[in-house]
Every structure is written in structure tokens, then in C-alpha cells.
Amino acid sequence: MSESKALVRGTFLITLSILITKILGVLYVIPFYSIMGNETNLAPFNYAYTPYNIAIAVATAGVPLAASKYVAKYNAIGAYSVSQKLYRSSFIVMTVTGVIGFAILFFLAPIIATFTLAQEGQSQAGAWSVDEVTWIIRIISTVIIFIPLLATWRGVFQGYESMGPTAVSEVTEQIARILFILIGSYLVLYVFDGDILTANGIAVFGAAIGAIAALLTLWYYWRKRKNNIQTMVASDSTGITVGYGKMYKEIISYSIPFVIVSLNFPLFNLVDQFTHNYALGLANVPQALHDGFFSMLNFTTNKIVMIPTSLAAGFAVSLVPFITKKFEEGRLKEMHSQIRVSLGVLMYITVPAALGIMALAYPLYTVFYSANTDGSTLLFYYAPVSILIGLLSVTASMLQGIDKQKLTVFIILSAVVIKVVINVPLIYVLHTPGAVLSTAIALLFANICNLVVIKKHAKFNYSETWMHFAKIFFYGLLMMVIVEGVSFGLEYFLSPASKVGSLIILAIGVLIGVAVYGGLTLKTRLADEFLGDIPDKIRDKLGFLK
């Protein structure tokens, strides 16, 4: 296989695995919510998953990329023994690191739980206690044992230009995790007549089961490739040696920018976890309501909001190599074209998706979970934030492509500081929607900074891009108004409080939204700017909109 074909295939596999895992990560919440019953029952699971998501962000961002770069670097000059030294030592070092990480989270669990619940001792009626949340966090801490090893092993495979094992292991990890969550929680509650806390404990342990499944997948591929790797090591005649200190210093220094970028949204969630209930307490919101509101913020609405951003994650992965290559070669015109198209495609997809979620917030929340005015209202406010999340993913990747990852780190950390400073005051005034607003403000700041850096260091002119954005928002808002009107009219005949009624409203609303937005952008040829020859093919099949 040629180098270019291998790169395309590898990028496709990684992107596909990201999309599959994110889609599965959204869809499983429908049966899981049904099993658990309501938002308050989901709170312990949600409280435990914030530190878990931080660990996952570290594992899936910086470490694999750093390890793959290191292995590829020395393989390129034939120093296969150095690569062997890395993966042999890393299996030991990362396992020890995992055990240390497990111990840290295990012993910090009571502190995390206390900050999370903003109180000490026993909870009020209807709320979870510090001891209960501590127990849940300690269960999920077991997954930290496996994450560093899992991340490094994936990076080693990628360094050998073998993307398949990483992609397959990510999918098997997600499938195993979800199956264990759904089957385990169902058995606890409906077969063994257990309690909600035990069901939460079983569900969070699914993360460890997923990690073990991923490790077994990598072990299977390692056995198949081991002989080829040993042959490469035997052919090493370079005599190059690298000390362990230098080796791990290089890996850590390279991984830090990627880790910081990937931690952006998990850190926002952690800020919410440590301040949300405290701020609601200051606002005299009854403690019994805190857990349910937090689950709406960081789990139920968050999962739906992440749907439009799923593409952005895979999109960002494929973006870095192309921009890096064009930037280093000085081919700025081609790089500018790629930046313009990338931003356009992102907004073309995420803007109508976000506005559509706003228009159909109530039936969408009912179909996914249950009829809930508070949940659907929060979803309405949260939906447009998905645009900022997707934009940050792509622009941060662009900064890495033009070798400005250090600025990215500063921008992300500054955004987190902004979130920390304004979160409590906004929640105090606006309650849970205040946390959404603080996230939006912090993300807006980060995106503006990224766009300014791209303009300055990539010499990019935004005039055409702003025009595209304006048209996308205009057509998207027209679509939103029409869908909102149709949804309102259907509510005279169908009950949005029932799942069947909401599903019908949702299906009709989505079809009309796609027809309106698609028709407008095809007729005005805005779609042609981003989708290549696809719009012409659609027009030919439809026979109109030409």
C-alpha cells in the first residue's frame, strides 16, 4: 500500500471509530435512562463520570499521539531497537502510573464528593449523600489502572502505521462498556431487586470492563504483528540508543498541548460539578433538586448537544496533517482553501443541527428521556453551545497544524479560568442555565482567540468566511422558525408529553427542517461551496432547485 493510501485509510479508520463511539455514546442513554427512571437516579453515575472523562481525555489525546510520533520518528531512521525499548518499558511504566492514578482518585474520592455536593454529613431527603457518591467514585477509579497502558499501546500501533487496532479497540471498548452498563443495571433493578445506588455502581464499573475489552483487542492484534516487529528490530544496525529519561521527557513534552486541548470540556464539566450545587444552595434552591438539575446539565442535555459536535471530533483528527504539511511547505493558498472549506462545512452542519434542536427541544427530550419542562428548557439554552464546541475543536486543531499549540494551551487554560470566575455568580442568578451561559462565554472567548491567531499566523482572510457564516445562520434561522411553527401546530393534535406523540412531532419536524434548509442552500448554491459535486447530483435526481 502506498504511503498516501495508507494515510487516507488510517485517517478514515480513526475518524470512523470516533464517530461510531460517539454515536453509541449518545444512543445508549435512551435505554439507560429508561432503566434508571429519572435524572436524580442518574446523578451518582454522572458525578463519577466527570473524573473518568478527564482520565479518558488524557488517555485518548496526548499519550497515543506522543507515543506514535516517537515510534514513527525512530522507525523512520531504522532505529527499531529504540522503539522496542519504548514499548517494552512503557508497558511497565504505564501500568505503575495507572496504579498510582487509581490510588490518587480512590483516596481523593471523599473530597471530590464533598465539593460536588457542597455539604458535609448526611444529605437531606431526596438527595444523595457524600458517602454514597464517594463509593461510586471509588468504583470508577479502578478504570484508571488500565487507561495509561491502553493509551500508550494504541500509540505504539499508530507509530507502526497500524491504525486498525486503535480503531477496533475504541469501538470494542465502547460496545463492552455500554452492554455492561445496560445489562448490569437492568439485572440489579429488575431481576435481583437491588437498589439504585448498586445499579449506579455496576454501571460505572462498565468503564473498567470496556478498558479490559480494549486491552484484549490490542493484545490480539499484537500477537499477529509481533513477529514482524521482531524482524524489524533484528534488522536494526544503526547503533542508536536513547536513555529512559530523555525518552519519557520527549513523550510528555509533546503530549501536554494535546492533553490540555482535550481537557477543555471535561474541565468545564468539573467546574460545574464542584460549583453547581454550591451555587444553587446559595440561591436557596432545595437540596433535593440539586442532583436532578445537575444530571440534566452534565448528562441528559449534554448527550443531545454533543450530537452535532460528533462530526467535528473526527473532522479535527483528519485536519491536522493536511494543514501541517501545507504550512511547512509554504503553500498558503492551498492551506487557506482548506481552512475556509473546513470552517464552512463545520458550520453548514452544526448550525442547522443546533437550531433544529432548539426548535424541537421538548419532543426531543421526551423521546430520549421523559416529558420534563426543566430538562427541555435547559436543552433549548444548551443547543447553540454545540456550535462553539465544534468550532473550538476544529480551530484548536488548526492552531496545532500551524505549530501554535503553545498558544492553544494558554487560550484553553484562560477559558477555564473565565468559567471558574463567572460560574457561581451566573448560577446564583439564573440557576442551572447560568452554568450553560458561563460555558458559552468561555468558549466564545477561546474561539475568538483561536480565530485571531489563525488570521495573524496563517495570514488568513475571513471576509469570505464571514459571508458564508451569515448565510448559514440566516437560512438556519428561517428553518428554525418554520419547524417551530409546524411543531406548535402539531401539538393541537398530538400530545408532546407522550413518547409516541413526541416521536411523530420530531420526525415531521426533522423532515421539514432538512427540506427547508437543504432546499434553501441548494437553490442559492451555498451548499456548493462546501460539498463539492454532491449538490449537483442531488439537483439532477430531484429535477428542480437548479
DSSP letter string, 164-178: HHHHHHHHHHHHHHH
Residue in 418, 49, 17 with CA at minimum distance from that of residue 203: 49
Q: What is the pLDDT of residue 204?
A: 92
Mean pLDDT of the chain: 84
Domain count, the chain: 1
Cell numbers placing 248: 519519557
Q: What is the rounded CA–CA span in Å between residue 199 and residue 137?
A: 14
Give the pLDDT score at 414: 94
pLDDT band at 6 (very low <50, low <70, confident <90, very high): low
pLDDT-based confidence at 493, cuts 50/70/90?
confident
Please give the single-letter amino acid code of residue 35. Answer: I
- For residue 148, the surrounding DSSP H or E stretch is helix 147-159
Residue written as cell 448554491?
Answer: 525
In angstroms, the Cα distances linking 147 to 53, 56, 98, 157, 370 are 11, 7, 7, 16, 34
- Which one, of 33, 51, 50, lies nearest residue 42 by Cα? 33
In a domain, 21, yes or no: no
The closest of 118, 427, 127, 422 to 297, measured between CA atoms, is 427
Q: What is the mean pLDDT of residues 333-360?
A: 88
- For residue 491, pLDDT over 50 is answered with yes
Give the mean model confidence (pLDDT) for residues 517-546. 80
What's the mean pLDDT in 56-84?
A: 72
Is a pLDDT exceeding 70 seen at residue 43? yes
Task: Give residue 26's pLDDT band: very low, low, confident or very high (50, 70, 90).
Answer: confident
**Does residue 263 form part of some domain?**
no
- Structural domain includes residue 186: yes
Range with the largest mean pLDDT of 10-19, 315-324, 420-429: 420-429
Angle between helices 80-117 and 196-234 (to 10 degrees): 170
Q: Where are the alpha helices (DSSP H) in 360-402?
A: 361-368, 373-382, 385-401
Above 80 in pLDDT, residue 129? yes
Placement of cell 493510501 in the chain: 5
pLDDT classification of 120: cutoffs 50, 70, 90: very low
Spatial separation of the C-alpha atoms in residues 127 and 178, rounded to whole Å = 26
What is the reported pLDDT for 478?
96
Q: Is residue 285 scored above 70 in pLDDT?
A: yes
The answer to whether 188 and 173 are in contact (CB under 8 A) is no
Window from 169-178, 379-388, 416-425, 528-537 with minimum mean pLDDT: 528-537
> What's the pLDDT tens digit per position in 73-108?
777 777 778 777 777 777 787 888 888 888 988 998
For 501-515, the pLDDT digits (tens) are 999 999 999 999 999
The whole-number pLDDT of residue 121 equals: 42
Q: What is the pLDDT of residues 315-328, one digit of tens each?
A: 555 555 667 667 76
- DSSP E strands in 306-427: the ranges are none
Does residue 283 carry a pLDDT above 60?
A: yes
Residue 122 pLDDT class (50, 70, 90 cuts): very low
Residue 527 covered by a domain: no
Higher pLDDT, 258 or 107: 107
How distant, in Å, are the alpha carbons of 67, 128, 150, 247 from that of 63? 6, 35, 10, 13
- CA dist 162 and 164 (Å) reads 6
Q: What is the pLDDT of residue 125?
A: 46
For the cut 60, the answer to whether the pLDDT of residue 35 exceeds it is yes
**pLDDT in the model for residue 475:** 95
0.75 cut: is pTM over it? yes
243 inside domain: yes
Better-scored residue on pLDDT, 38 or 364: 364
Instruction: Tell me what the mean pLDDT of segment 214-222 comes to.
Output: 92
Place of cell 489525546: 61
Is 31 contained in some domain? no
pLDDT at 314 over 90: no
The single-letter DSSP state of residue 124 is P
Q: Which amino acid is at 197?
A: L
CA distances from 279 to 51, 52, 357, 418 (A): 20, 24, 28, 16
**Which amino acid makes up residue 156?**
V
Contact of 427 with 276, CB cutoff 8 Å: yes
Could you tell me if 290 and 272 are in contact, meaning their C-beta atoms sit under 8 angstroms apart? no
Q: Is pLDDT of 214 > 90?
A: yes
Predicted confidence at residue 240, as pLDDT, reads 78
Q: Report, as an integer, the average pLDDT of 241-250.
A: 78
Tens-place pLDDT, residues 369-419: 989 999 999 999 999 999 999 898 888 878 877 878 788 889 999 999 999
Contact between 282 and 428 under an 8 Å Cβ cutoff? The reply is yes
User: Once rounded to an integer, what is the mean pLDDT over residues 277-295?
Assistant: 89
Element housing 509 (H / E) = helix 499-523
**What integer pLDDT is reported at residue 316 of this predicted model?**
53
| 60 inside domain | yes
Q: Which three cell numbers stand for residue 27?
A: 444512543
Confidence of residue 272 (pLDDT cuts 50, 70, 90): very high
In a domain? residue 522: no
pLDDT in tens, 430-467: 999 999 999 999 999 999 999 999 998 888 889 888 99
Q: Which three cell numbers stand for residue 235?
A: 534488522
Structural domain boundaries, residue 58 = 38-253
pLDDT value, residue 46: 86
